[in-house]
Amino acid sequence: MSQIFIENLSYTYGNDAYALDQVSLIIQKGEMVGIMGRNGAGKSTLIQQLNGLLIPTSGTVFIDGISTEEYDPYELTKKIGIMFQNPEHQLFCSSVEEELDFSLKNLKISKELKTQYKKSTIEKLELQKLLHKSPWNCSGGERKKVSIACVLCRNPDVIVFDEPTLGQDKYGYQILDQILMNAKNENKTTIVVTHNTEFAYTYLDRIIVLERGKILADGPKEKILTNPVILKNGSLVEPQFSLFHKKINSTLSSQDILSSLVSNSRGFNDLTENLLNHIGRHEHL
Amino acid sequence: MNGSPPSELDTQIITKNLSFIYESAYKENRGEIDSLLKEKGPSFKDDPKLDKFKALNSIDLSILKGKFIAMVGDTGSGKSTLVRTFNGLIPSFYRGIFFGYVNVLGKDTIQEKVSALSQHVGLVFQNPDNQLVAMTVEREIAFGLENLGMEQSQIREKLTQIMEYLKITHLKDRHPYDLSGGEKQRVAIASILTLEPSVIILDEPTATLDPQAAQSVLNLLKKLNEENKITIIIIEHRLEVILPFCNEIIVMNQGNVLEHGPTQQVLLSSSLQKTGVRIPEYIQMFLQLREKAKYSGTIPTNIDQAVLKLKEWLN
């Protein structure tokens, strides 16, 4: 049984246009999936169908074999944790700690387990210094981190991020890196809506590109994020190393040493090492 | 600058010894701050013990006309706070303790009304919801011009021009709250552009835009910068997005300006490494080659340049 099965899903906000138009897809447990596409393509609308925030105009969304319309909302939100694009839409308490407490409040688990979930989230996301601060006095990046914490502390089966890299610096990325690695190790399904192709190329396995409410492309990241037609129609840009590789190949013969060094590298870090080794050997001779 | 020092006329924004403590930080630490004031008198503002409460700490900055500046730094380093002093929002709307001096286009921001400063210094917020108030996109963009008392025919002409520039004509009758995040950001930018300010400050303006829309907004800002000499200051976490466009970088860390200078100078210095700014991997590659393999050329700021420079160097 697929963890998420979406069948002929259409949704309209009440006007003539369909935000989602006959979308069908399957996401298996443990997949790391990116949902990409231009502004207004239907990405955020799609993820809000997963925990019943939006109910299909037609079609069905099945989570673990049960339609979202048949779920108790409590059970559904426990299974699917969504972190919104704009953290202000989900933060309203007077301190970061109260936000975490509120998020855990309605979980039907023991007090001890709640304390354990809270403690581990604070440590994972390095929130110690923010605990007594009002979310409204946090910076944009810090608020984003708090909103991630409020979702993660509930330990959902499926983690859904809407633009998680927004406003994050190097340290925020390191925390995201850790969260995604943990999710992968725990075989948790992770769905990320993002415009950030560098991030998608680094962390995700499968990319679904939406365009005008329909699926434009769905496949492994290596195929989707390097295909010029999909990139153009999905309003995406190619990841920098892939672009660099193509430009090197288009201007140099495959016999050229630089071309061969680039072809034998998986990314810029790899290429740096290969270049330094090459230069070292050359100088040695 | 052709080697000659900038004249005062070229300088649009000057800050001197600028510090700011938010009211919330003061309230949380009232006892400590008040006892410092009692002990030191007016000179308490320069006491290092006060530094940990400051969102901005003794900032001296000079921004010249026509620059395209990237402001980078960790989350919470004071970037958004600093730009809010440029149009008087701090200290007029955000309460707290303000020290020092900010001069914008020859005017002391303390003496000027925010409404007057806002005509010259346009600020596009990180979250467009914070600045969209009208019932339709068209009314939203016209709002600033109507407040200036511009004639309807002129307003209409300007609206058409701006909406075409930003490719949002099809949205003109929609409610701003029904738009996607990226569409809202484009409307917020349009409403600022109509006032033709001398300085436009944008707080992560393309973060919610799809990559091609982001490129088109940045191209538009570059065009406004080059053709109309509008100074552009963009807060941006993603160096890879902003580097092809900016000619100066301001690096912030814990309320301080660590460095402000031409793009190459900042890329070659160690200030970025001291912050949480993510340096694009291709730039890290060139910095490594410089350090370990005697690469002596400039640091590329886009992939095309990276390809050319690497080919040249290896040949």
- Residue-wise pLDDT for B270-301, tens only, equals 899 889 899 999 999 999 999 999 899 999 99
Q: Is A116 on the interface with B (CB under 8 A)?
A: no
Contact residues on chain B for A258, CB-CB shorter than 8 A = 310-311, 314
Q: Is A237 on the interface with B (CB under 8 A)?
A: yes
Average pLDDT on A105-109 reads 80
**pLDDT at residue number B3:** 45
Average pLDDT on A52-76 reads 93
Three-state SS at A36 = strand
**pLDDT at residue number A284:** 57
CB atoms within 10 A of CB B266: 21
Three-state SS at A200 = helix
Do A137 and B22 count as a contact with CB atoms less than 8 A apart? yes
Q: What are phi and psi of A61, to 5 degrees?
A: -115, 120
Distance separating alpha carbons of residues A215 and A36, to the nearest angstrom: 10
Smallest CA–CA distance from A145 into chain B, residue: B75
**pLDDT at residue number A111:** 87
Low-confidence residues of chain B: pLDDT under 50: 1-3
Do A168 and B237 count as a contact with CB atoms less than 8 A apart? yes
What tokens were used for A164?
């998680």
Name residues whose C-beta falls within 8 Å of residue A138's C-beta, 6 or more positions apart in sequence.
A96, A130, A146, B76
Cβ atoms of B181 and B214 closer than 8 Å:
no
Sheet of B96-104, strands arranged across: B56-64, B11-22, B96-104, B107-108
Distance separating alpha carbons of residues B206 and B186, to the nearest angstrom: 9
Output the CA angle A143-B210-A224, nearest 5 degrees. 115
Q: What are phi and psi of B174, to 5 degrees?
A: -80, 155
Mutate to test the interface with B, among A43, A85, A195 (most CBs of B within 10 A): A195
**pLDDT at residue number A1:** 63
Distance (Å) from the C-alpha of residue B147 to the closest C-alpha of chain A? 29
Contact residues on chain A for B218, CB-CB shorter than 8 A = none
Average pLDDT on A184-213 reads 94
Distance (Å) from the C-alpha of residue A254 to the closest C-alpha of chain B? 14
Contact residues on chain A for B285, CB-CB shorter than 8 A = 268-269, 271-272, 275
Q: Is A106 on the interface with B (CB under 8 A)?
A: no
**pLDDT at residue number B155:** 93
Instruction: Provide the pairing of β-strand A32-36 with A206-211.
Output: parallel
Smallest CA–CA distance from B77 into chain A, residue: A139
Containing A32, the helix (H) or strand (E) segment is strand A32-36
Do B209 and A269 count as a contact with CB atoms less than 8 A apart? no
What tokens were used for A191?
């769905």
